[in-house]
Structure 1
Amino acid sequence: MGLGLTHSEEASILCFPSRPAARAIPAPRRLHLSPPQLAGGEYAALSATLDSGWIAPAGPAIPAFEEAVAAASGFAHVAAVSSGTAALHLGYRLLGIERGDTVWCSTLTFVATAAPAAQMGAQLRFLDVSPESWTLDPELLRDAMADAARRNRLPRAVVPVDLYGQCSDLAAITEICGHWGVPVLSDSAEALGATHRGQGAGRGARMAVFSFNGNKIVTAGGGGALASDDPALIARARHLATQAKEAAAHYQHETTGYSYGLSSILAAIGRVQLGALADRVAARRAVFARYVEALAGVPGLHFMPEPLWGRSTRWLTALQIDPAGFGADREAVRRALEEAGIESRPVWKPLHMQPAFRGSRFTGTGVAATLFERGLCLPSGAMSEAEQDRVVAVILDCAHRAGRA
């Protein structure tokens, strides 16, 4: 043919002279639940930190990050550490939790809320949540605390949990616990930027914990913080987080600590990310509002409520699917989303139902168990309206197939 082709290439052209070249249609990108999002200044901050020579958990990036967390949270003092779980562990240690002590906490949460206390030998009692907020039920706590006082069995600490960007009713919880002299450690890992009764997440508790894991509303790619208005507590936390080294020329230790320091690199990223917190909250709330509008009127769907006393970040959009009204259960919808390349996740499995806490006491009426059975978290991070429409379309398709929409 004189085209400079091999015989096999010429044969291919002769056999299929009019077939157009096949073009691969790219599959739509997978939508994740809460992917990390850059704020725009991370590269410059990383470069400056590397140029400074400070990479280990030391140097000016750490206190700068702590000051930024304090400003964002409203707490006077903050210790930056390697993870939210490390911050919880330090909080329990500072409260003097010992083997045989009793710790009460909300049952609807991630395992990290209770794991450090269990590992320290504490006995755990899990309390149910309120349908008004999906967080620790204050009235249930009030009754349980009064009963425990009559039996001289008050807990060593109470740990409410801010869920999916929504604060617990800390004003009520701290009033109840304060009456009996029981300290409150707030697990606010998921709620930086949220408010309750005009105060930031965790405010009012003896200490509060925040997380900067990769899926959080602002992230350092890891890391956490322990916050308090008590400077002595935070000074002690920093001491324990750096192996409890005493001020001496040699390595002197009066007690044992932990290697919980936060890398300067992560601190530099986290400080930049905190500058975007207000915009991220607004964006997540807008995502939630679009879901509510698009799915309005679909029987059997009930979104996580926002109590009048709080303002959630809507870190994750969560809803309940009532199979009697919707026509399909939570798992059917989750599997349909997965088949469409969309990540979703059931609401936390209550800790009193987890094998790891077998034998722990539970107090409640089954609200958390119902939320787990019916609850689903939808993609809530940075995505276009067209991408969010993909999620909505799958849910509506499930409803149509059930004859409910």
Structure 2
Amino acid sequence: MAMRIPLCLPSVGAKEERAVVAALRSGWVAPAGPQLDEFESRLATVTGRTHAVAVSSGTAALHLALLAQGIGRGDRVAVSTLTFAATVNALHYIGAEPVFIDCDEAGLMEVEALEAACVDSLATRRPIRAVMPVDLYGRPADYPRIGQIAAANGAVVISDAAESLGASLGGAPAGSFGEVAALSFNGNKIITTSSGGAVLCSDPETAERVRYLSTQARQPVVHYEHTEVGYNYRLSNLLAALGLAQLERLEEILAIKRSHYRAYDEALTGVRGMRVLDAADGNCWMSVLIVGTESGTDAWSLSDSLLRRGVETRPVFKPMHLQPVHKGCDRRYITGRAEELFRTGLALPSSTDLPPEDRSQVVAEIAALIDEAVGV
């Protein structure tokens, strides 16, 4: 059956078209220009930082964030196991060793497991140099406690805020936590630049280091001269123009995403063992359904049935410690919660432009399939 209700499409229209065309006609098409400068300035303001460096992807942002904090080959980094592969791929780019930390019931880094990992690492004289929490599906991790644990053990905090632009924790915006944070503007994120990301920090030296590395580590001389390896990671001015137009719509987009979450939560939580993953003060980028045993089915079977009815869903991220590429990894700080969420969780259609009637149809299809499963 043709896909009638997709999972999460970008919301772009006439406003974004005008912005990109204006940048194109200005002649600023390279990774430099007024739109890029303004995009970075506004990002810093929105996230409570003094500096933002826009780059080609969220993965590039994570890579540069690690390098700027001096993390390198052989360094051990505590990282959320429940995440997209890019978080851990960035560690492998620099030869660092991931130490996988399981999650709590909300899917966020479990602070008790993190603390145990840090204490054990000090005892074995192989300290954890950095902690990389992930703001899963747009909800910030417990940064106050994570920050305390990291500081007590001599580690820096690098926030993977790829999914959480517009969220908050204790009144502070997502992206403001840790020594440095990374955003993503991939096509399905809260705002998009087609492909893109940003490194956020409040230290001018860190910002300058990130900017330098992202532009091939070119020395400030007339001729091309390089004293170290750099990367072609800067965001183009054209894509920054798209990002600016999207950023102007951020509050509108957030309101719609949160309305999706409230509608799903009110309609589905408590129905035959189901619940919608608590979003707290997150941005509700994706609404996630947890399918309990009382439903008479399982998440993957429900997903297959919904797909046959033209509704796209997606399982919660497969934990990194289960990925074949990480076979043989240390599992001492794995409790089983991430595996449970992978087994029971489904991301529901959450496009910004999802019509309310389509959202109601998703709920109706789920209800009908659950009734069928329990023989009602």
Q: Which interval holds the TM-score relative to the shorter structure?
A: over 0.9
Q: Which residue identity is paired with 2:282?
A: S
State the distance in 2 between where 1:78 and 1:193 align: 15
Q: Does residue 127 of structure 2 align to residue 162 of structure 1? A: no
State the distance in 2 between where 1:338 and 1:89 align: 35
Partner of 1:378: 348
Contact 2:3 2:312 in 1 (8 A): no
Contact 1:39 1:273 in 2 (8 A): no
Q: Does residue 332 of structure 2 align to residue 366 of structure 1? A: no
Q: Does residue 60 of structure 2 align to residue 98 of structure 1? A: no
Q: Which residue identity is paired with 1:366?
A: G
Partner of 1:9: none
Q: TM-score, normalised by structure 2?
A: 0.96
State the distance in 1 between where 2:13 and 2:25 align: 21
Partner of 1:5: none
Larger Rg: 1
Q: CA deviation at 1:296?
A: 4.2
- The DSSP-based 3-state class of the residue aligned with 2:264 is helix
Partner of 1:278: 251
Map 1:333-352 onto structure 2 (within 5 A). 333-352=302-321
State the distance in 1 between where 2:72 and 2:264 align: 45
- Could you tell me which of 316, 321, 327 is aligned with 2:286? 316
Q: CA deviation at 1:40?
A: 4.3
Q: CA deviation at 1:165?
A: 0.8
- Could you tell me which of 169, 190, 193 is aligned with 2:163? 190
Q: Does residue 274 of structure 2 align to residue 301 of structure 1? A: yes
State the distance in 1 between where 2:37 and 2:225 align: 24
- The DSSP-based 3-state class of the residue aligned with 2:137 is coil
Contact 1:39 1:276 in 2 (8 A): no
Q: Which residue identity is paired with 1:169?
A: D
Partner of 2:22: 48
State the distance in 2 between where 1:68 and 1:399 align: 45
Unaligned 5+ segments in structure 1 are 1-26
State the distance in 1 between where 2:228 and 2:96 align: 20
Q: Which residue identity is paired with 2:267?
A: A
State the distance in 2 between where 1:396 and 1:311 align: 27
Q: CA deviation at 1:300?
A: 1.7
Q: Which moved more, 1:395-404 or 1:233-242?
A: 395-404
- The DSSP-based 3-state class of the residue aligned with 1:157 is strand
Q: Does residue 126 of structure 2 align to residue 153 of structure 1? A: yes
Q: CA deviation at 1:29?
A: 6.3
- The DSSP-based 3-state class of the residue aligned with 1:78 is strand
- The DSSP-based 3-state class of the residue aligned with 1:255 is coil
Contact 1:155 1:182 in 2 (8 A): yes
- The DSSP-based 3-state class of the residue aligned with 2:366 is helix
Partner of 1:114: 88
Question: Residues 249-303 of structure 1: CA distance to partner in whole angstroms, max 9, x if unpaired?
Answer: 1101111100001111100010110111111111111111111222244112121
State the distance in 1 between where 2:154 and 2:269 align: 45
Q: CA deviation at 1:39?
A: 5.9
State the distance in 2 between where 1:396 and 1:92 align: 45
Map 1:18-97 onto structure 2 (within 5 A). 30-38=4-12, 40-97=14-71
Q: CA deviation at 1:230?
A: 0.7
State the distance in 2 between where 1:36 and 1:342 align: 17
- Could you tell me which of 205, 210, 218 is aligned with 2:178? 205
Contact 1:39 1:272 in 2 (8 A): no
Q: Which residue identity is paired with 2:362?
A: V
State the distance in 1 between where 2:91 and 2:3 align: 40
Contact 2:118 2:127 in 1 (8 A): yes
Superposition RMSD on alpha carbons, in Å? 1.5
State the distance in 1 between where 2:274 and 2:375 align: 11
Partner of 1:18: none
Name the CA shift for 1:205/1:326 in 2 (closer, same or farther; >3 Å).
same
Contact 2:135 2:162 in 1 (8 A): yes
Unaligned 5+ segments in structure 2 are none
- The DSSP-based 3-state class of the residue aligned with 2:199 is strand
Q: Does residue 255 of structure 2 align to residue 259 of structure 1? A: no
Partner of 2:370: 399
